[in-house]
Structure 1
């Protein structure tokens, strides 16, 4: 079957994906004389295997790297993708979960091939990470391989006169080395430097990406291809923002996307220093079609002193990737704090709008001892209200104000006071940690059981809730 890529030019491709040019369909048919016709297509009945006998997926690094599959990493320049891949390689080689990502098969053999940086820069990256996390040759053994594209070139495909040419000897050499060294994870950074194909040619990039996939399948290796994004103009990156053709992203089974911490999120987390904001990067799996969706994973770039200075030349400070956990707005709060907030909301008239003078956030601030004038604490209050409205502890209802409907915050599902620790002063008259409470006159129609640190389980039986009152 021929494809037309340019007017009056016909191409066929062999099993390796190489394009062969013919002047016409007639010439193609005359040359092959039916010898290369495909076999008859048949439908295969489903065999209904025993599910317990189906081979399990073999994850190597959380739910990001899978044996026999390709993972793409997409990021704009300067975010820290090379720092991240170096840390991922060191974590795998050492068997140390310092990035807070599980290593289901323990320490693995890793080969990182950076096609842009020279050997000295790669040494800086790995040693900064080594110093930061306290792992070295004794932990990694002989499981870490690092190459620079400036010392050893990698080119897997070119555009020849007759079209795409997959350089099979390169893939065969890669396969041989992966098998000889027992490589479990191969990272190529960046993908665009590993071929000489127009990166906007979707059909051609698809052939190259699928050849990498075939290599992963044949060797059982997890292959990571790092890719740049197009110019984003400050916009958040998604998988589809990868530069050039989308074929690479389509071929990958997992696509990790790196974004710097936005100013909006920094404000929510109480980060006011611009220098600190720039050290934080969010990593999302934007295409987790082989694993459950995960929440965002955060990376912090720590500055590590290599202590390599002398004389007039100061030491190098190099970034090392660490795992970072955003501050939890519910940290230090208890179920009693929510109950006290409910009592305060129920005792007054509080608007849902943050611009209102009687915003519900003022009641929360008074109960919890927070300062609404402080931007960080105000963002925390907003997060608390959003969560409580989302899980049903509070609700928004419309009330008439001078003939117009206005949104007010009200209690929806009450905390069951019988589940709170009994104090000498009695439930509702004293708060844990000195938090004041307010007396309620509401007939609590529905109670919540269990902990309320941002969640909570509603009583399914309303009568049970009333009896507990």
Structure 2
């Protein structure tokens, strides 16, 4: 059976077709642009503001679990930027910056404690930050909401973004820190498409106002023990939209043991790394020690406050004070007996190391350091692992002298 062709002009009318044609949007020509070769020396360098962490015109994220020293780090960072001083180990490029710290979960008293404690520790005066530090608290009326969901309808509050851009430009703000991000909107935080729109709206603010927008974010429960960029709570769209993602990690028990740090001291040490693209190993991260600073605000019989302040800290090297002569003594001792690889064995090779270095192999802190030393010496060939039968004819790993003698 032959089907007659349909004549749409007859079905909907010539006038409707003509109207549809005239109302259609014009087609934009798509053309590829030839690349214009440039002298590399003429390309402007990236406009970094703070080390290689904050880049002007972009959004940065800070991801941290509760109790990791996040507020302490932010207070110190704000003061470093506003004073133009590199006391946290990051370069403040082209002099002091104007910083707006907008905290949505702490009151002004708490914010002031952190700021003033850091100022005491780093020996700052009001003149060092005069006119360059701006602080607002959501707990005291300075709330912030940039997006809402009403009756299931998502809506960016564009007038808020416009007002933010205008105020950043009016105050000539270089860095805006919003802490925490989750309190700056009223949208389901697991909705990727919506969080993506919010993050990109912040990106437009950063671009239009030529500033850095730092969005501080909490971790999920699953990410609280070992934080990476993917530990961020809710939608991954926020992390994907950010130029950099700084992650804060408290020192683990295993790290503390290897470094000879007691469990009581472990909580004082925090690492910060940019985890946007590649996870930084512990030794490549920036490490900070949280130091208690007395505010001197005791009243009558009420004690004053001791507030944590972040200070740069160098990761100890297990080989500090360990010489080639020490290694030769260890090798001599190893060569004269039967030494097991397992720390559970009473014949553990670590006891030989402890004897030479004057350490206590049964102490948690010294044991961790001894393990690090043995691991490195086996890695570089000074010692090696030899699997052989013990007296019970069980094959077990022993530590024996290797071929090379370098520490």
Question: Which bin holds the TM-score, normalised by the shorter protein?
Answer: 0.7 to 0.9
Superposition deviation, residue 262 in structure 1 = 2.5
Superposition deviation, residue 318 in structure 1 = 2.2
Q: Name the CA distance, whole Å, in 1 between partners of 2:350 and 2:120.
A: 45
CA contact (8 A) 1:392 1:412 kept: yes
Superposition deviation, residue 290 in structure 1 = 12
Superposition deviation, residue 233 in structure 1 = 8.5
How many residue pairs get aligned? The number is 387
Name the SS for the 2:398 alignment partner. Answer: strand
Superposition deviation, residue 101 in structure 1 = 2.4
Which structure has more relative contact order (CA 8 Å, sep 6+)? It is: 2
Deviations 1:150-195 (A, max 9, x none): 3322222222458332222222222222223222211000111111
CA contact (8 A) 1:339 1:414 kept: no
Q: Hey, what does 2:47 align to over in structure 1?
A: 58
Q: Hey, what does 1:353 align to over in structure 2?
A: 342
Q: Name the CA distance, whole Å, in 2 between partners of 1:212 and 1:393.
A: 54
Tell me whether 370-379 or 160-169 shows the greater mean CA deviation: 160-169
CA contact (8 A) 1:285 1:293 kept: no
1:258 and 2:248 correspond: yes
Name the SS for the 2:271 alignment partner. Answer: strand
CA contact (8 A) 1:254 1:290 kept: no
Q: Name the CA distance, whole Å, in 1 between partners of 2:328 and 2:162.
A: 66
Superposition deviation, residue 294 in structure 1 = 7.2
Q: Name the CA distance, whole Å, in 2 between partners of 1:289 and 1:374.
A: 35
Q: Hey, what does 1:444 align to over in structure 2?
A: none
Q: Name the CA distance, whole Å, in 2 between partners of 1:218 and 1:291.
A: 31
The TM-score, its normalising length taken from structure 1, stands at: 0.74
Q: How does 1:192-341 map to 2 (within 5 A)?
A: 192-232=182-222, 235-274=225-264, 276-288=265-277, 295-341=284-330
Name the SS for the 1:124 alignment partner. Answer: helix
Of Structure 1 and Structure 2, which has the larger fraction of its residues in helix?
2
Q: Hey, what does 2:14 align to over in structure 1?
A: none
CA contact (8 A) 1:254 1:289 kept: no
Superposition deviation, residue 273 in structure 1 = 4.7
Deviations 1:87-106 (A, max 9, x none): 11111111222222233434
Q: Name the CA distance, whole Å, in 2 between partners of 1:237 and 1:348.
A: 43
Superposition deviation, residue 108 in structure 1 = 1.9
Q: Hey, what does 1:182 align to over in structure 2?
A: 172
Deviations 1:381-431 (A, max 9, x none): 11111122233433323334466543233444523xxxxxxxxxxxxxxxx
Judged with a 3 Å threshold, the aligned counterparts in structure 2 of structure 1 residues 386 and 58 are, in CA distance, closer, same or farther, namely farther
1:99 and 2:81 correspond: no
The TM-score, its normalising length taken from structure 2, stands at: 0.85
CA contact (8 A) 2:388 2:397 kept: yes
Q: Name the CA distance, whole Å, in 2 between partners of 1:43 and 1:388.
A: 57
Q: Name the CA distance, whole Å, in 2 between partners of 1:247 and 1:233.
A: 17
Superposition deviation, residue 215 in structure 1 = 1.9
Match of 1:362 among 351, 355, 372: 351
Name the SS for the 1:52 alignment partner. Answer: helix
Q: Name the CA distance, whole Å, in 1 between partners of 2:354 and 2:383.
A: 16
Q: How does 1:17-36 map to 2 (within 5 A)?
A: 33-35=23-25
Judged with a 3 Å threshold, the aligned counterparts in structure 2 of structure 1 residues 384 and 172 are, in CA distance, closer, same or farther, namely same
RMSD of equivalent CA atoms:
3.0
Name the SS for the 1:414 alignment partner. Answer: coil
Q: Name the CA distance, whole Å, in 2 between partners of 1:83 and 1:160.
A: 36
Superposition deviation, residue 284 in structure 1 = 2.9
Superposition deviation, residue 79 in structure 1 = 2.4
Q: How does 1:74-85 map to 2 (within 5 A)?
A: 74-85=63-74
Deviations 1:45-84 (A, max 9, x none): 4444333333222332222222222111112223221121
CA contact (8 A) 2:176 2:213 kept: yes
